[in-house]
């Protein structure tokens, strides 16, 4: 990273001109920085100096870029060997820094994959997310957990592969229900030998790799041979597998026969918003679809949004060999070259083609994706209109100057004071903003069950930190709420007010939502400053909206508490053993599945666990069996 302007550089055009004095004539990425050092904009260029010079010609810039230039006080550049490398780096920086003048893809979810293990005599088929630490083959990505679960079920019906964990497999004494309903060949109890199971795995691999025809022919030949040998029961079982395979291979516009590995990406724009619909096609099968809504200004055209989306979407995942789009891109060849480089980082080879189909089956697939994009955007616009009316109602109810752009809701959860947590959820014009949710593990000292003290600690940490880190005292901190809702009555509201008064934040609207008589939903009391507690009519839409916010905070608090309690239980079971650090603890839990599994394991089982030495195994066994003498 090469800073080209000192921190005390002049603003706007003068800052950019100072940066141009030392800017090279090479490909690279540039960043516009504001007075706080935050990135305003990230861009790439084939010739950095030529591209950045355009920002000094204010008369030719749109209003959005003129505002960006006026806030710029410094620039940073990173040079690259090629423009394609610059495009990849630009997408990575935009996704990581989220500059507010760029088109942003807000996609922080990981995608599930289908995993077929390779470190067991009888491989397991299962859904997988996260890092690929286990030796296995992976297929995907899938658009959702539902899509990959459907595929796992289909693979069980056709190929009878096990989906149970290794620990369950090792401890079975009789077949499970999946064998009874003909979804597993029961290798755990010897109903199939290693060679027979390996043949099923080979067929599954061929199917997932797109060789469905060869698998069907092999099954048909097996059924005929069984029938000729008068093994009618085996022939009937193979027939059922063929039927299941035929059902899975159903071909229509959703499962196009002419596509093997491709992503179908269609964009639709209306009312200044864009929906991008992505269909994942792998091995000739539809792995599901997902709608995305990139953040951009109203002046951005569909090709610009689509190009930015593609760069950020494939920043952390391998692109397929073919992308079908519904719009031509300005730098289509450059983007294809960048995607080829990205595929190589994931071990792929060959070119990545970007095609805009005009006729035939590919065009029908694209038209279907475009229809989905249009319908998803229409639903979102309708929901946004309804949400806007509700926010107007909230503003009127609580005397806000305008509809709130950010509402924060707070709740606590504990059991008799154990594993106490506070949570914050966030909602706004687009609904719940789950990326902004926060968890607060209560540090104390807090008396068990003291909800007021827990709430005070949460508010001190949330708002105290925001005020300390605010670099412009004349303006509210970033992400400052317009309205704060608290699950509780007058006592919780008083505790929150005390904290905000101590912090010097007197203008923040605080509202307590207290449960009504007998804790009935619909009879809540609202506590806020300047008026006595009040209730809303039972069927008021604003009441339903506020209840939904409160219920979401309660759900998040309960799930956070349960996760923390489970973590504390595991820690108390294994962390008490001297010599068991995070690495060995993880190895034991991965091998035995739980702390209880470790506790119940025999000495020989512990010694056989990966990453556990004989000495450590004896140490663990002795901890859980203090009355048993361990020889050696």
All structural domains of the chain, each given as residue ranges with its CATH number in brackets, are 2-97 (3.40.1440.10), 113-248 (no CATH), 262-378 (3.30.420), 407-470+479-566 (3.30.420.340), 575-624 (1.10.150.20)
Query: 312 or 214, which is more confident?
Result: 312
Q: Report the pLDDT value the prediction gives residue 538, as an integer from 0 to 100.
A: 82
Running DSSP on this structure, what letter comes out for residue 160? -
What is the C-alpha radius of gyration for the chain, rounded to an integer number of angstroms?
Answer: 30
The 10 Å Cβ neighbour count of residue 503 is 16
Distance CA 368, CA 377 (A): 14
Q: Which alpha helices (DSSP H) does 482-613 contain, by range? A: 490-503, 541-574, 582-592, 595-600, 603-608
Distance CA 139, CA 279 (A): 15
Q: Which residue do the tokens 């010079």 mark? A: 53
What are the pLDDT digits (tens) for 16-29?
999 999 999 999 99
| pLDDT over 50 at 5, yes or no | no
Distance CA 364, CA 539 (A): 46
What is the three-class DSSP state of 224? helix
Cα 178 to chain centroid distance, Å, stands at: 31
Quote the pTM value: 0.71
What are the pLDDT digits (tens) for 579-627?
777 778 777 877 776 777 788 888 888 888 888 888 888 888 888 877 6
Give the mean pLDDT of 161-186: 88
Distance CA 584, CA 527 (A): 51
- Evaluate whether 140 touches 112 at the Cβ level (below 8 Å): yes
| pLDDT level of residue 529 (50, 70, 90 thresholds) | confident
Which helix (H) or strand (E) segment is 19 a member of? helix 12-20
Q: Which of 72-86, 97-111, 293-307 has the lowest mean pLDDT?
A: 97-111
Question: In sequence order, what are the beta bridge partners of 42?
Answer: 31
Distance CA 20, CA 53 (A): 7
Q: Which residues are CB-contacts of 502 (< 8 A; sequence separation ≥ 6)?
A: none
- Evaluate whether 152 touches 296 at the Cβ level (below 8 Å): no
- Evaluate whether 391 touches 468 at the Cβ level (below 8 Å): no
């Amino acid at each position: 990273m090469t800073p080209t302007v000192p921190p005390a550089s002049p603003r706007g055009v003068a800052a950019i001109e100072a940066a141009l004095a030392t800017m090279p004539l090479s490909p690279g990425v540039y960043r516009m920085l504001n007075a706080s050092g935050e990135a305003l904009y990230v861009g790439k260029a084939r010739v950095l100096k030529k591209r950045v010079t355009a920002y000094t010609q204010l008369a030719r810039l749109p209003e959005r870029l003129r505002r960006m230039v006026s806030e710029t006080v410094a620039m940073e550049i990173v040079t690259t060997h090629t423009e394609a490398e610059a495009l990849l780096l630009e997408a990575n920086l935009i996704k990581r820094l989220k500059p507010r003048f760029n088109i942003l893809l807000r996609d922080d979810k990981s995608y599930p994959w289908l995993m077929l293990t390779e470190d067991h005599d009888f491989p397991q088929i299962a859904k997988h997310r996260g890092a690929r630490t286990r030796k296995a083959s992976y297929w995907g990505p899938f658009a959702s957990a539902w899509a990959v679960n459907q595929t796992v079920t289909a693979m069980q019906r056709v190929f009878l592969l096990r989906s149970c964990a290794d620990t369950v497999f090792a401890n079975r004494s009789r077949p499970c229900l999946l064998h009874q309903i003909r979804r597993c060949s029961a290798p755990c109890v010897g109903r199939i030998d290693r060679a027979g199971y390996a043949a099923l795995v080979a067929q599954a691999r061929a199917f997932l790799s797109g060789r469905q025809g060869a698998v069907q022919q092999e099954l048909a030949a097996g059924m005929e041979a069984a029938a000729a040998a008068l093994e009618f029961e085996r022939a009937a079982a193979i027939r059922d597998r063929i039927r299941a395979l035929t059902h899975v291979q159903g071909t229509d516009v959703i499962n196009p026969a002419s596509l093997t590995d491709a992503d179908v990406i269609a964009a639709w724009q209306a009312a200044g918003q864009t929906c991008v619909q992505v269909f994942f096609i792998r091995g000739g099968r539809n792995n599901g679809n997902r709608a995305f809504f990139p953040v951009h200004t109203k002046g951005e055209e569909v090709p610009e949004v689509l190009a930015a989306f593609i760069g950020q979407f494939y920043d952390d995942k391998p692109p397929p060999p073919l992308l079908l789009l519904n719009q031509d891109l300005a730098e289509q060849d450059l983007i294809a070259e960048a995607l080829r480089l990205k595929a190589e980082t994931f071990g792929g080879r060959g070119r990545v083609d970007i095609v805009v189909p005009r006729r035939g089956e590919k065009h029908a697939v694209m038209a279907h994706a475009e229809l989905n994009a249009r319908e998803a955007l229409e639903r979102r616009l309708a929901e946004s209109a309804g949400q806007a009316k509700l926010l107007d109602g909230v503003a009127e109810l609580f005397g806000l100057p305008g509809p709130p752009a950010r509402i924060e809701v707070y709740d606590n959860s504990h059991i008799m004071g154990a594993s106490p947590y506070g949570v914050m959820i966030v909602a706004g014009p687009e609904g719940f903003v789950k990326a902004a949710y926060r968890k607060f593990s209560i540090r104390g000292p807090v008396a068990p069950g003291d909800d007021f003290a827990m709430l005070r600690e949460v508010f001190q940490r949330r708002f105290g930190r925001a005020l300390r880190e605010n670099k412009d005292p004349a303006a509210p901190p970033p992400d400052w709420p317009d309205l704060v809702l608290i699950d509780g009555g007058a006592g919780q509201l008083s505790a929150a007010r005390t904290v905000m008064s101590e912090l010097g934040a007197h203008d923040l609207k605080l509202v307590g939502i207290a449960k009504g008589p007998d804790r009935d939903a619909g009879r809540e009391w609202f506590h806020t400053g300047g008026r006595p507690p009040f209730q809303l009519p039972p069927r008021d839409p604003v009441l339903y909206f506020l209840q939904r916010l409160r219920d979401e905070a309660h759900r998040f608090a309960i799930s956070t508490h349960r996760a923390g309690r489970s973590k504390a239980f595991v820690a108390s079971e294994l962390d008490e053993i001297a010599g068991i650090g995070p690495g060995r603890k993880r190895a034991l839990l991965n091998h035995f599945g739980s702390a209880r599994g470790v506790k119940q394991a025999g000495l020989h089982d512990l010694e056989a666990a990966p990453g556990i030495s004989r000495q450590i195994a004896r140490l663990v066994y002795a901890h859980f069996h203090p009355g048993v003498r361990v020889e050696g």
